[in-house]
Structure 1
């Protein structure tokens, strides 16, 4: 049984779903684009039943209470700062961190910036940003896969294109792998005034203040072979950007939408990993 939280931070109040005993081992789960915390509903409930205190927030721009207008407020420094601020508000000194898609990128940056706060890191789909950057520069396949990131930086026209014809383009992104009722909820939320612009501002905010380094915390990286955004070059290179204990899991014949396409498989992998840490 999941519960709904409002988590106050200096940036504003984050909406979140949660499950498990309040004194359970803390784990924070970060969603991707174009989704919300409810992409983790299955995992949050299962982790809660296993005795963890699992919390998944609607991140900056997705929570109406934290939706700044300035594009610069959506940089990775701010997004990683939100993770720490949320943990502070929950009274968590150290916690396990899980991320998917953009939430995975934020998770990698949090591990780089604040390794002392993380007990472990689990990232779904998103390679280490250093591995991804190298692949975009050297691998034609990855450069083509990542072209959408540049396209979506066009302000205004991208929103219109995604929401036209009953959000047809937005709906197609989920590749018919996300439950229809969930897609309807995402479309409803992102159709609210300013919501899609805030979500796209993650792409428009520009580069972080400095480069990301290797990650020293224990890492589980899960990549699926049919991921349209991230190819094998960056996925296989990710281990070279981790200096701590590293585990790589490859999911055959699964697309980008892992938490909702194969929820039981992902939950089992997370629980198995967390019990070893």
Structure 2
């Protein structure tokens, strides 16, 4: 029995890490938009959805999932830059309520546009054949290769983002814009161009997350809204504007959410009837990440690595 529980814990822990990496790809772009542009961007999940749909469509068109994903990322980034130029740029000097209302309107726009183009029926996206098998991590413990590939991709992206922000001229300008936008502009930084790049980078990361998550979840209209809630939790826990905080917060949220949903029923069934244990566990697990957020903010009001509240 203990061996089975240990295997379940390891497997679900890996699932939690995979969810955490997906959340990180979303949160990394969102925290840059928050930290540098000071824009509450509710429509970030829509680019996650676009990434999934374009990956499915282009992958089917060229009979290659990887090529479809590689093409979807820059396409969504380009769409994001156009959206920033047309709509988001007009919100920089507005208050946060205007930003919330405008970006909520963008959610409605993208949902209806996707419904008109692809229809309302879900699309099921298959991983590449080379990664469709499983790997035996421990005796009797098999884990999907593609989920491991998602983990590796997310960690590689985190490393590249860290290098970009710390070691490149663009990263220096991003840090300067996050610290003092007016001073950076006075020193010759093209703030409008910088914001467009930041927004495109964020939407490209969201497309990467959506394209990979589409192989685990069904691709459907509105799929970005559910993950957006967890993404905001990650940004708050990690600290606004911090890539390191986004990674740590995403891993914490992914592990807590996944382990709570899978391990709490097992734990409660030893003391409660099965149906009652499942009901209580569902209620507790649905609030677990918010309890985590409350505890983190009670300890560090700016988040784990936040520079400002």
| TM superposition score normalised by structure 1 | 0.24
Rg larger in structure: 2
| TM superposition score normalised by structure 2 | 0.23
Higher-RCO chain (CA-CA 8 Å, sequence separation at least 6): 2
Q: Which has the higher strand share?
A: 1
